[in-house]
A and B are shown apart, each in its own frame.
Chain A
Amino acid sequence: MTQNETKISANGVQVFYGDTHAIKDVDVQIEDKTVTAFIGPSGCGKSTFLRCLNRMNDTIDICRVEGKITIDGDDIYDKRVDPVQLRAKVGMVFQKPNPFPKSIYDNIAYGPRIHGLAKNKAELDEIVEKSLRRGAIWDEVKDRLDAPGTGLSGGQQQRLCIARAVATEPEVLLMDEPCSALDPIATAQVEELIDELRSNYSVVIVTHSMQQAARVSQKTAFFHLGNLVEFGETGKIFTNPEDPRTESYITGRIG
Chain B
Amino acid sequence: MTDATANTPRPKTSLIEVDARTKRRNAAEARFKAYGITAIAIGLLFLVVLLGSIIANGVGAFQQTFVNVPVYLDPAKLDKKGNRNIEEMKKVSTFGYNPLIQQGLLDKVTELGIETPLQKRKEMKAMLSASAAAQVRDFVLANPDKLGETVEFKLLAASRVDGYLKDRVQREDVARDKNIDAEHLDLTDELVKAGVVAKTFNISFITGADASESRAEQAGIGVAMLGSFFMMIVVLVLSLPIGVAASIYLEEFAPKNRWTDLIEVNISNLAAVPSIVFGILGLAVFIQFMHLPQSAPIVGGLVLTLMTLPTIIISTRASLKSVPPSIRDAALGVGASKMQSVFHHVLPLAMPGILTGTIIGLAQALGETAPLLLIGMVGYIATNVPDGIAAGFLDPNSAMPAQIYEWAKRADPAYYERAWGGIIILLVFLLTMNIIAIILRRRFERRW
Q: Which chain A residues border B335 with CB–CB below 8 Å? A: 84-85, 87-88, 91, 111, 114-115, 168
Q: How far is the CA of A94 from the CA of B328 in the complex (A)?
A: 12
Q: Give the distance to chain A from B259, nearest Cβ to Cβ, in Å.
A: 14
Task: Choose from B324, B333, B448 the contact partner of A92 (Cβ within 8 Å).
Answer: B333
Is there contact, CB below 8 Å, between A100 and B328? no
Q: Which chain B residues border A151 with CB–CB below 8 Å? A: 447
Q: Which chain A residues border B334 with CB–CB below 8 Å? A: 87-88, 91, 110-111, 114, 164-165, 167-168
Most buried by B among A59, A100, A165: A100
Q: Give the distance to chain B from A174, nearest Cβ to Cβ, in Å.
A: 9
Q: How far is the CA of A94 from the CA of B334 in the complex (A)?
A: 11
Q: Give the distance to chain B from A105, nearest Cβ to Cβ, in Å.
A: 15
Task: Choose from B329, B337, B345 the contact partner of A94 (Cβ within 8 Å).
Answer: B329
In the complex, which residues 155-194 of chain A have their Cβ closer than 8 Å to any Cβ of chain B?
161, 164-165, 167-168
Q: Is B326 an interface residue (CB 8 A)?
A: yes
Q: Give the bracket for the number of chain A residues in contact with chain B.
A: 20 to 34
In the complex, which residues 396-448 of chain B have their Cβ closer than 8 Å to any Cβ of chain A?
446-448
Q: What mask results when residues 307 to 336 of chain B are scored 1 for a CB within 8 Å of chain A, else 0? A: 000000000000000001111111111111
Task: Choose from A88, A94, A114 the contact partner of B326 (Cβ within 8 Å).
Answer: A94
Q: Is B344 an interface residue (CB 8 A)?
A: yes
Q: How far is the CA of A85 from the CA of B325 in the complex (A)?
A: 21
Q: Is B110 an interface residue (CB 8 A)?
A: no
Task: Choose from A61, A84, A85, A101 the contact partner of B448 (Cβ within 8 Å).
Answer: A101
Q: Which chain A residues border B349 with CB–CB below 8 Å? A: 101
Task: Choose from A61, A87, A115, A148 the contact partner of B333 (Cβ within 8 Å).
Answer: A87
Is there contact, CB below 8 Å, between B327 and A98? yes
Q: How far is the CA of A191 from the CA of B335 in the complex (A)?
A: 24
Q: Is A56 an interface residue (CB 8 A)?
A: yes
Q: Which chain B residues border A92 with CB–CB below 8 Å? A: 333
Q: How far is the CA of A110 from the CA of B334 in the complex (A)?
A: 8
Q: Which chain A residues border B331 with CB–CB below 8 Å? A: 100, 110
Q: Give chain A's interface secondary structure class.
A: helix
Is there contact, CB below 8 Å, between B446 and A61? no
Beta-carbon nearest neighbor of A84 in chain B:
B337
Q: What mask results when residues 100 to 123 of chain A are scored 1 for a CB within 8 Å of chain B, else 0? A: 110000000011001100000000
Q: Give the distance to chain B from A78, nearest Cβ to Cβ, in Å.
A: 18
Is there contact, CB below 8 Å, between A94 and B448? no
Q: How far is the CA of A33 from the CA of B255 in the complex (A)?
A: 38
Q: Is A135 an interface residue (CB 8 A)?
A: no
Beta-carbon nearest neighbor of B338 in chain A:
A84
Is there contact, CB below 8 Å, between B336 and A84? yes
Q: Is B256 an interface residue (CB 8 A)?
A: yes
Most buried by B among A91, A114, A168: A114
Is there contact, CB below 8 Å, between B447 and A150? yes
Beta-carbon nearest neighbor of B323 in chain A:
A101
Q: Is B170 an interface residue (CB 8 A)?
A: no
Beta-carbon nearest neighbor of B340 in chain A:
A114
Is there contact, CB below 8 Å, between B446 and A56? no
In the complex, which residues 79-100 of chain A have their Cβ closer than 8 Å to any Cβ of chain B?
84-85, 87-88, 91-92, 94, 96, 98-100
Q: Is A234 an interface residue (CB 8 A)?
A: no
Is there contact, CB below 8 Å, between B326 and A56? no
Q: Is A54 an interface residue (CB 8 A)?
A: yes
- Check A59/B333 contact, CB under 8 A, given A114-B340, A148-B447: no
Is there contact, CB below 8 Å, between B256 and A161? no
Is there contact, CB below 8 Å, between B332 and A56? yes
Is there contact, CB below 8 Å, between A101 and B330? no
- Check A91/B329 contact, CB under 8 A, given A101-B349, A101-B448: no
Beta-carbon nearest neighbor of A85 in chain B:
B335
Beta-carbon nearest neighbor of B257 in chain A:
A61
- Check A114/B336 contact, CB under 8 A, given A100-B345, A101-B349, A101-B446: yes
Q: Give the distance to chain B from A88, nearest Cβ to Cβ, in Å.
A: 3
Q: How far is the CA of A56 from the CA of B326 in the complex (A)?
A: 12
Beta-carbon nearest neighbor of B447 in chain A:
A150
Q: Give the distance to chain B from A211, nearest Cβ to Cβ, in Å.
A: 27
Q: How far is the CA of A110 from the CA of B344 in the complex (A)?
A: 10
Beta-carbon nearest neighbor of A55 in chain B:
B332
Most buried by A among B334, B336, B337: B334
Is there contact, CB below 8 Å, between B329 and A87? no
Q: Give the distance to chain B from A154, nearest Cβ to Cβ, in Å.
A: 13
Q: Which chain A residues border B255 with CB–CB below 8 Å? A: 61
Beta-carbon nearest neighbor of A112 in chain B:
B334
Most buried by A among B330, B333, B337, B447: B333
Is there contact, CB below 8 Å, between A87 and B345? no
Q: How far is the CA of A150 from the CA of B324 in the complex (A)?
A: 13
Q: Give the distance to chain B from A113, nearest Cβ to Cβ, in Å.
A: 10
Q: How far is the CA of A110 from the CA of B328 in the complex (A)?
A: 13
Q: Give the distance to chain A from B340, nearest Cβ to Cβ, in Å.
A: 6
Q: Which chain A residues border B338 with CB–CB below 8 Å? A: 84
Q: Give the distance to chain B from A89, nearest Cβ to Cβ, in Å.
A: 8
Q: Which chain B residues border A84 with CB–CB below 8 Å? A: 332, 335-338
Is there contact, CB below 8 Å, between A59 and B328? yes
Q: Which chain A residues border B324 with CB–CB below 8 Å? A: 98
Query: A residues engaging B (CB < 8 A)?
Result: 54, 56, 59, 61, 84-85, 87-88, 91-92, 94, 96, 98-101, 110-111, 114-115, 148, 150-151, 161, 164-165, 167-168
A-B contact pairs, 23 of them (CB 8 A): A54-B333, A56-B329, A59-B328, A59-B332, A61-B255, A84-B332, A84-B336, A87-B332, A91-B333, A91-B334, A94-B326, A94-B333, A101-B446, A110-B334, A110-B344, A111-B334, A114-B334, A114-B340, A148-B447, A161-B330, A164-B330, A165-B334, A168-B334
Give me the 5 closest cross-chain CB pairs, A-B, nearest first: A88-B335, A111-B334, A98-B326, A101-B448, A98-B330
Q: A56-B333, A168-B335 are in contact. List 5 more A-B contacts (CB 8 A).
A: A91-B335, A92-B333, A98-B324, A98-B330, A150-B447
